[in-house]
Amino acid sequence: MAKLPEDQRPRFEAEVRGCIGQEATHRRIHALFNGHLAQQGLVNDWEPRIQRRLRRLEGVDVRGWLAVTAATEHFTAILAEYLLANPAPLAGAEPRLTTLWQWHASEESEHRSTAFDLYRALGGNELWRKRLFRLVTWHFCTDVLRQTVNNLWHDGTLFKRNTWAAGWRLLFGAGGVVPSTRAAWKAYLREDFHPSQGDDELSRDWLAAHTADYRLVGPAA
């Protein structure tokens, strides 16, 4: 197994602790949100598929896990930037849920480089970094599609023309998700790419403007 150079351990130990703490908070909030949806009959079919994939990765070199994590961090970061820059996806949402998703989107930028830098520090190669990014993209998009179809079917709106028209505009219309994030997605495939090259101004501005909305949800560190 690859080992981290001794002189880089102090830096990464602090970063990894921060990243783990943040992800634990995100996981808790996701669980609460998904529990609320389950009470309405919207079953989380996504997570069991992810758990099955993770089990298949058991025994894989740590660099494989880091490559998948780095790819996922970049993919979610570009979606988060889109959400902060475009109010349309959250139009009409309950204010508390709008705040929840904007907070989550804003925090996606904070540790986006940790797994990527660890992967490189441990000697991860570019071929597998790019290959696994494409694989993560495929799984993420197909999982979202399947979950969305399930939710819409349960909601009784799956076969309505307006549903498909609105979905098409959101994804492929002017200013839609796909055309707006294509360049950032392709950037990950460059040899000279680094997550810090992304623009996190919207994230920093949102977090600074909403500091008063936060409260501790567990023991102080």
In this predicted model, what pLDDT tens digit does every residue of 158-193 receive, in sequence order? 999 999 999 999 999 999 999 999 999 999 999 999
> For position 33, what pLDDT does the model report?
85
Crossing angle of helices 46-56/126-155, nearest 10°?
A: 150
pTM of the shown model: 0.87
- With cut-offs at 50, 70 and 90, classify the pLDDT of residue 69: very high
CA distance 86 to 65: 32
Residue 217 pLDDT > 60? no
Which runs of consecutive H residues, i.e. helices, occur in the chain? 9-39, 46-56, 62-85, 95-107, 114-121, 126-155, 161-172, 177-187, 201-209
Query: Domain coordinates of the chain in residue numbers?
Result: 7-210
